[in-house]
Chain A
């Protein structure tokens, strides 16, 4: 069991994460963002992973994992730049040591393995952590990533968040395996099946796996069993594929309520501290709303600026074309 100070920190970050998530989902419903895949209900996995990573470690997240980015210090506005449609990735990956949130399923797991292998080749003590969904484990690239990691003994930890669904498709249609963690045996790496709504357990298991990876012990596959409380994204209609009773069964297992009642029972979380954390969460929500009220200045000409390191004449021509088009439409507006 991690010590109380760590648990309090995890609790704090989970509360902030949920408030952020609820706020962003609301903003998305108001049409302020193009889309937002919520992590509501999955905070134990998300925050445990973010907190377990050392400063030099790298995170390889999916579209689902915005709150892990938040917990690792990425600013709300930098995260939401992607979902608001400003640019594909709104933060500097090197500064945050986080790869851009990946949409093509399971592809980022291979990047995590390659990245970790490069660090290992240079004898650096760096691990990588790749998030995957339950559905993504059916992709060929998940298999390739697990296998490459094991063969190369890459310092990579795979955290599969089994949230029960891949959009509408339940886990039962995804795999006949008893647990996804069982698959680790076939690759020759350790696998752990963990209660994904127990932040203390997730934190302990991920921390061990990262230590092991950094110390030359190779990769680990961790499955956290959890539940996606919200729709897949705002454009999804979960009533078409799951019933309220199921959602209510999981609500009882809420990861924040569980750690909160534990910390209160242990006397570690006072009412005063709880109120302070709740205030901080409101503050974050307000900042997030404010940030989304400001429209960033987007320069259409930037479309051409980052495609190649080596400049291309043909792209410069197209840039000029767009610049002229923009000037003439501006002139039309002025006249």
Chain B
């Protein structure tokens, strides 16, 4: 049994050049992909001269021209639907949904066509489309600007769903998503857009379909993704003070799920918890807990816990701190186990 522990994370970062923000890393991934491949085009709402509301496409229309990067009419089903048609005709569109909850008008195009076209046509029509979606809370956004909708997409066969948590992954995962011949839902944790870190442009740290162990430990495995990776790392640092050794896995890829990396860690630590912002009921954590339990039951010392948002609509800005999982809440959850 191979366990895909990645102990080289810090080594790669050490040789890397200047720090960039996660948003900046996404921007260079788009620019590099566009320079390498003429069929890569970028369109959506305000992605042209403005550079997107989070500035991820900043400068791209000036650099590549408005026939490669342009503002489309304001309609999400239209953006996804036309991207599908373009992809049927040899393009590789990278499109932006302005905010998580505003991807819902495109739900039908994504679930009924983007996800299914390849299967329906027995592989004759592939749709290499990347749908970029800024998601999750923690930025004081008003209603409809903080949803975590990953479970809608991971529940849809045919879609690949990934989410980076740091600038290096942001750069490489977006490059890999654009190269993929499968449609990719690319979830960008908006609370992490301004986090800075070095990006090694020479080689990707991992393939798109792998999770990564980003901190090794012996007692508990914390499974996190996107915005909750920082929460997990904070919890691990606090736990260390109490002599609890926590291993943290950044899932990175939500669909497919990396059973091998997660299983390897959980069999070693025998305890695991999954952290996400989305409501707990029917959330992505339910699938993680179920499948990791099914595959590793006899190695587990305790039930897998879910530390998630409450089963309420995402709160208004002044109340979001009570909703979002925190390091303290993670540690309190681990305390409920019998040790």
A binding-site residues for B, Cβ under 8 Å? 58, 87-89, 92-94, 99-100, 104, 107, 109-119, 121-122, 128, 140-141, 144-145, 147-148, 151, 302, 305-310, 312-314
Contacts and interface: CB of A to CB of B under 8 A. Distances in A.
Contacts of B84: 110-111, 114
B78 interface: yes
B108 interface: yes
B122 A306 contact: yes
B256 A314 contact: yes
Contacts of A100: 117, 120-121, 125
Interface of A is mostly: helix
Contact of A141 (B81, B89, B93, B119): B81
A88 B121 CA distance: 7
A127 to B, nearest CB: 12
A94 to B, nearest CB: 6
Nearest 8 CB-CB pairings of A with B: A114-B85, A110-B81, A114-B82, A144-B78, A309-B181, A115-B85, A118-B89, A111-B85
A114 B78 CA distance: 9
Given A306-B119, A314-B256, 19 more contacts: A99-B125, A111-B82, A111-B85, A113-B85, A114-B88, A115-B88, A117-B86, A118-B91, A119-B89, A121-B67, A122-B90, A140-B105, A141-B78, A144-B75, A309-B126, A309-B181, A310-B182, A310-B209, A314-B259
Contacts, number: 140
B77 interface: yes
B89 A115 contact: yes
Contacts of B90: 118, 122
Contact of A309 (B157, B180, B209): B180
A99 B81 CA distance: 13
Interface residues of B, number: 47
Given A94-B125, A104-B108, A147 B88 contact: no
Interface of B: 41, 67, 72-73, 75, 77-78, 80-91, 93, 105, 108-109, 112-113, 116-126, 157-158, 160, 180-182, 209, 256-257, 259-260
B118 A306 contact: yes
A111 B113 contact: yes
A111 B113 CA distance: 10
B106 to A, nearest CB: 10
Given A147-B75, A148-B72, A309 B122 contact: no
B180 A310 contact: yes
B160 A310 contact: yes
A202 B16 CA distance: 64
13 contacts: A100-B121, A107-B81, A110-B109, A114-B85, A140-B105, A141-B109, A144-B78, A148-B73, A307-B118, A308-B158, A310-B181, A314-B256, A314-B257
Contacts of A94: 124-125
A114 B125 contact: no
Could you say which of A89, A118, A305, A310 has the most chain B C-beta atoms within 10 Å of its C-beta?
A118
A113 B82 contact: yes
B125 A148 contact: no
Given A100-B121, A147-B73, A312-B256, A107 B113 contact: yes
Contact of A145 (B78, B105, B121, B126): B78
A310 B78 CA distance: 27
A142 to B, nearest CB: 10
A99 B87 CA distance: 12
Contacts of A306: 118-119, 121-123
B83 A114 contact: yes
A93 B121 contact: yes
A145 B116 CA distance: 20
Contact of B259 (A93, A112, A117, A313): A313
A201 B3 CA distance: 69
B81 A114 contact: yes
B73 A144 contact: yes
A119 B85 CA distance: 10
A99 B86 CA distance: 12
Contacts of B124: 92-94
B302 to A, nearest CB: 25
Given A309-B126, A312-B256, A110 B78 contact: yes
Contact of B86 (A58, A92, A115, A147): A115
A214 to B, nearest CB: 15
Contact of B85 (A118, A140, A141, A147): A118
B256 A117 contact: no
Nearest to A151: B73
B86 A114 contact: yes
A90 to B, nearest CB: 9
